[in-house]
Amino acid sequence: MFKQVFRLTFITFVWKQYKRAIISTVLLFGYLYLVGNIHDDYLNYAKLEQGTDVGASFIIKWSALLVGVLIFLAYHFLRRSSSTDSNEGDDTMKVTDDESDPFADLRKRKKLRSKAEMIIDEKSKD
């Protein structure tokens, strides 16, 4: 029973951590498979026609494969560089000044005091 729970927890962790990479990789493999199948269909068609030049089809096929891989790499490179730029040098969470932010007042205070400190201050004034 614990083995199944551990597997499910591990799979959930991996999915949450690497969801974009998994999806983009599956899409890349699907794209490469689709380009290969389209090219094979064209070669079968060209074989039946016998007068069709197939040299250009290989250039188009490899160009399409290269473009797909370059888009995949650019997506991951740009995503990685944008995520490292936003976290660079600052470990605190970046907060916008929304009116809907319930903690905006607390962030603006210079000193935070607990209820106990306020009670002690009130008693010391009396």
Q: pLDDT for 12-24, tens place per residue?
A: 999 999 999 999 9
Positive or negative, the CA dihedral 59, 61, 65, 68 is positive
* 108 in a structural domain: no
Better-predicted residue by pLDDT, 29 or 5: 29
Measured from the Cβ of residue 43, the count of other Cβ atoms closer than 10 Å reads: 15
Please tell me the total count of domains within the chain: 1
Please report the pLDDT score of residue 27 as a whole number: 96
Give me the domain span that covers residue 6.
Answer: 2-87
* 125 in a structural domain: no
* 49 in a structural domain: yes
For 21-77, the pLDDT digits (tens) are: 999 999 999 999 999 999 999 999 998 988 778 889 999 999 999 999 999 999 988
* 118 in a structural domain: no
